[in-house]
């Protein structure tokens, strides 16, 4: 029997108001066998080809499948909509055999034509549905020259050069396969009317209230145990905590560090933690203003007491970062590159050499967003450290989606600094999208700092096409060393991701790619 999800509205309103004292035991108020997730923000879109935020992807991965996926708990590739594949010796052709009998949730068939439709839509300017974008992470598949239908259940990708991250990018949310019929029907509004092949299907999206998905009874990998999942946007971290304590949600994402110990000591909850490839940093406007001078960028890195940030503000839920390659990619991580030490006197010396003493800076901060690690307290602490070396920092605070609309087009004319966080599945992703000259915002990338170093560009281009694992690792280690010295960012932290779930929730596991895989989760 299908539940009437609109009937949940009064219950959700009641739980939203039922805030209790911090240590009061939770009284389960969420519907039976329905998981209620406290998200950090309203999604921007549920079209995985359009989205860029982990907040959106955490919903999308439960409605869609890709050709491949990451094996739970790992970054190891396993079959999904493709049962197996073959790679040519020269690394230019990938041929996938597709799973038979799979249907999209609108009843239309999944086949090779659907795969071609998805990638042509993202990559071909002459696709009839290219205008349903933009597709900002189409970068992931920029090496794809053609996608050809071999037969109904066989599809071949031809690349214009070897591309080492190709399979991991296929396993990313940008590689999820959407229903061509639904895109044809809804056009640009597909992101509000999503249709995939995943374990859950879309029911409703009430802005600033909830997104509801229900169990796909015909899921090719077997029906999920949960009847439905409700994703509630709760921007304020303290309100999310209060909702968890009052029984208004079953899953609390991105728990404030101050509250983790509280939940650990309460048998009504389970605290989940996992290390993943995460980088939390502050972009510095290298195009104009004080940060156009490398000495000023280095100065603020020396001025920042990062040990205090991760130990006092984040209370040990993160480690100090040394650069753009997360240590979770241990094979590509340069252990010889150490974080900038806390040295306010060195910072003042560099500022004096650059003639930047007393510079006025505008710092864009978000109230909360994907992987953003207590952004307002962190922003305030950073402001104080920079003030201690004579810099005058003004903070401007934005809601997450508004923040992205300000920052992603570039910092020029808007600010000197901006918080940012990325969770990635390959060491290529973050530097390729944010540190290359060709990734400036007006080129469709996310290099909002306007950082440019031809040597870094060349190293990243080589790393993408190298089929030699050791060579590729060495190239990324060189990138980390150069970028650390150029300091286009304030390198701040690598997060140990966390979530809190109630004791009634079973089989919940945090994923190293920071997705929210709910297909096997149970609720008593």
pLDDT tens-digit readout, 149-160 = 999 999 999 999
Percentage of residues of the chain with pLDDT beyond 90: 79
Residue 179's SS3 state is coil
Q: Could you read off the pLDDT of 384-417 as tens digits, one per residue? A: 999 999 999 999 999 998 999 999 999 999 999 9
Reported confidence tier of residue 275, pLDDT bands at 50, 70, 90 = confident
DSSP string, 187-256: GGGGGGS---SSSEEEEEEETTTEEEEEE-TT-TT---SSSEEEEEE--SHHHHHHHHHHTS-SEEES--
Question: For residues 395 and 373, what is the distance between their CA atoms, to the nearest angstrom?
Answer: 17
User: Which pair of structure tokens corresponds to residue 11?
Assistant: 């219950």
Classify residue 184 as exposed, middle or buried by CB count within 10 Å of its CB (0-12, 13-18, 19+). Answer: middle
Question: For residues 190 and 196, what is the distance between their CA atoms, to the nearest angstrom?
Answer: 11
**In 3D, which of 501, 479, 510, 505 has the Cα closest to residue 271?**
501
Question: For residues 275 and 510, what is the distance between their CA atoms, to the nearest angstrom?
Answer: 9
Q: Is the pLDDT of residue 5 over 70?
A: no
Q: What letter does residue 8 receive in the DSSP assignment?
A: G
Q: Is the pLDDT of residue 15 over 50?
A: no
- E strand or H helix at 259: helix 257-264
Question: For residues 205 and 36, what is the distance between their CA atoms, to the nearest angstrom?
Answer: 14
**In 3D, which of 490, 401, 486 has the Cα closest to residue 437?**
486
What are 393's strand-pairing partners?
361
What average pLDDT does the structure give for the chain?
92
For the chain, how far is it from start to end, CA to CA, in angstroms?
19
Task: For residues 13-38, give the mean pLDDT.
Answer: 61
CATH for the 64-180 domain, from 3.50.50.60, 3.90.76.10, 3.40.50.20, 3.40.1190.10 = 3.90.76.10
226 Cβ neighbours under 8 A, 6+ residues apart: 33, 34, 35, 200, 215, 518, 521, 522, 523
- E strand or H helix at 428: none
User: What pLDDT is recorded for position 219?
Assistant: 98
The angle subtended at Cα 303 by Cα 300 and Cα 307, nearest 5°, is 115
Least confident of 2-16, 348-362, 502-516: 2-16
DSSP string, 265-326: T-TTEEEEEEE-SEEEEEEE--SSSGGGSHHHHHHHHHH--HHHIIIIISTTSEEE--SSS-
Q: Could you read off the pLDDT of 31-89 as tens digits, one per residue? A: 999 999 999 889 999 999 999 888 999 999 999 999 999 999 888 899 999 999 999 99
Report yes or no: 317 and 498 within 8 Å, Cβ to Cβ. Answer: yes
Report yes or no: 419 and 381 within 8 Å, Cβ to Cβ. Answer: no
pTM of the model: 0.76
Question: For residues 300 and 385, what is the distance between their CA atoms, to the nearest angstrom?
Answer: 9
Q: Is the pLDDT of residue 449 over 70?
A: yes
Percentage of residues of the chain with pLDDT beyond 70: 95
User: What pLDDT is recorded for position 27?
Assistant: 52
User: Where in the chain are the domains?
Assistant: 1-63+198-250+504-524, 64-180, 278-496
Classify residue 413 as exposed, middle or buried by CB count within 10 Å of its CB (0-12, 13-18, 19+). Answer: exposed
The angle subtended at Cα 141 by Cα 61 and Cα 434, nearest 5°, is 85
User: What pLDDT is recorded for position 1?
Assistant: 34
Looking at the domain that runs over 278-496, which CATH code has it been given?
3.10.105.10
Q: Is the pLDDT of residue 25 over 90?
A: no
User: Which pair of structure tokens corresponds to residue 161?
Assistant: 């050069």
**In 3D, which of 82, 49, 53, 48 has the Cα closest to residue 68?**
82
Q: Is the pLDDT of residue 280 over 60?
A: yes
Main-chain phi, psi angles of 209, to 5 degrees: -130, -60
User: Which pair of structure tokens corresponds to residue 399?
Assistant: 């809601």
Report yes or no: 504 and 296 within 8 Å, Cβ to Cβ. Answer: no
User: What pLDDT is recorded for position 467?
Assistant: 79
Question: For residues 372 and 256, what is the distance between their CA atoms, to the nearest angstrom?
Answer: 11
Reported confidence tier of residue 491, pLDDT bands at 50, 70, 90 = very high
User: What pLDDT is recorded for position 12?
Assistant: 43
Please report how many Cα atoms fall inside a 13 Å half-sphere around the Cα of residue 480, on the Cβ side: 28
User: What pLDDT is recorded for position 92?
Assistant: 96
DSSP string, 51-91: ---HHHHHHHTTT-B-SEEEPTTSS-EEESSEEEEEE-TTS
Q: Could you read off the pLDDT of 162-221 as tens digits, one per residue? A: 998 999 999 999 999 999 999 999 999 999 999 999 999 999 999 999 999 999 999 999
**In 3D, which of 179, 235, 225, 220 has the Cα closest to residue 202?**
179
Residue 501's SS3 state is strand
Question: For residues 277 and 256, what is the distance between their CA atoms, to the nearest angstrom?
Answer: 19
Torsion of CA 238, 310, 425, 217, to 10 degrees: -20
Report yes or no: 522 and 505 within 8 Å, Cβ to Cβ. Answer: yes
CATH for the 1-63+198-250+504-524 domain, from 3.40.190.10, 3.40.50.360, 3.40.50.720, 1.10.10.10 = 3.40.190.10
User: What pLDDT is recorded for position 14?
Assistant: 41
Q: Could you read off the pLDDT of 91-125 as tens digits, one per residue? A: 999 999 999 999 999 999 999 999 999 999 999 99
């Amino acid at each position: 029997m299908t539940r009437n999800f609109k009937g949940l509205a009064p219950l959700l309103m009641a739980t939203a108001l039922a805030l209790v004292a911090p240590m009061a035991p939770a009284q389960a108020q969420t519907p039976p066998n329905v998981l209620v997730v406290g998200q950090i923000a309203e999604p921007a879109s549920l079209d995985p080809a359009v989205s860029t935020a982990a907040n959106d992807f955490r919903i999308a991965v439960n409605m869609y499948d890709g050709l491949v996926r990451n094996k739970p708990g790992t970054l190891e590739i396993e079959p999904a909509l493709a049962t197996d594949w073959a790679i040519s010796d020269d690394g230019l052709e990938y041929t996938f055999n597709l799973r038979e009998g799979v249907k999209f949730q609108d009843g239309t068939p999944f086949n090779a034509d659907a795969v071609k439709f998805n990638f042509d839509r993202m990559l071909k300017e002459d696709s009839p549905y290219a205008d349903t974008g933009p597709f900002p992470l189409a970068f992931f598949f920029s090496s794809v020259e053609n996608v050809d239908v071999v037969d109904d259940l066989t599809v071949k990708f031809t690349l214009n050069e070897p591309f080492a991250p190709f399979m991991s990018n296929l396993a990313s949310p940008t590689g999820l396969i959407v229903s061509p019929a639904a895109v044809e029907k809804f056009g640009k509004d597909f992101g509000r009317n999503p249709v995939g092949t995943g374990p859950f299907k879309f029911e409703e999206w009430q802005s600033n209230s909830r997104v509801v998905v229900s169990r796909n009874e015909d899921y090719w990998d077997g029906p999920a145990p949960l009847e439905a999942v409700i994703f509630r946007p709760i921007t304020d971290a303290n309100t999310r905590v209060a909702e968890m304590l009052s029984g208004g949600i079953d899953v609390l994402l991105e728990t404030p560090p101050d509250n983790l110990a509280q939940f650990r000591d309460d048998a009504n909850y389970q605290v989940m933690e996992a290390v993943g490839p995460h980088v939390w940093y502050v972009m510095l406007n290298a195009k104009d203003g004080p940060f156009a001078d490398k000495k000023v960028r280095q100065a603020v890195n020396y001025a920042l007491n990062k040990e205090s940030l991760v130990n006092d503000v984040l209370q040990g839920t993160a480690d100090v970062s040394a650069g753009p390659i997360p240590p979770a990619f241990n094979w590509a991580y340069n252990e010889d590159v150490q974080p900038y030490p806390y040295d306010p006197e060195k910072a003042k010396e560099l500022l004096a050499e650059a003639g930047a003493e007393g510079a006025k800076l505008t710092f864009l901060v978000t109230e909360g967003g994907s992987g953003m690690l207590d952004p307002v307290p962190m922003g305030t602490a950073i402001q104080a450290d920079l003030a201690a070396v004579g810099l005058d920092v003004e903070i401007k605070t934005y809601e997450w989606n508004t923040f992205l609309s300000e920052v992603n087009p570039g910092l020029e004319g808007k600010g000197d600094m901006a918080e940012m966080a990325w969770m990635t599945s390959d060491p290529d992703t973050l530097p390729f999208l944010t540190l290359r000259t060709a990734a400036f915002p007006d080129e469709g990338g996310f290099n909002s700092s306007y950082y440019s170093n031809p040597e870094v560009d060349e190293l990243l281009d080589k790393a993408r096409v190298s089929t030699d694992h050791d060579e590729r690792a060495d190239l990324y280690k060189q990138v980390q060393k150069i970028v650390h010295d150029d300091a286009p960012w304030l390198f701040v932290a690598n997060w140990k991701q966390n979530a809190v779930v109630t004791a009634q929730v079973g089989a919940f596991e945090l994923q190293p790619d920071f997705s929210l895989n709910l297909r096997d989760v149970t609720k008593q």
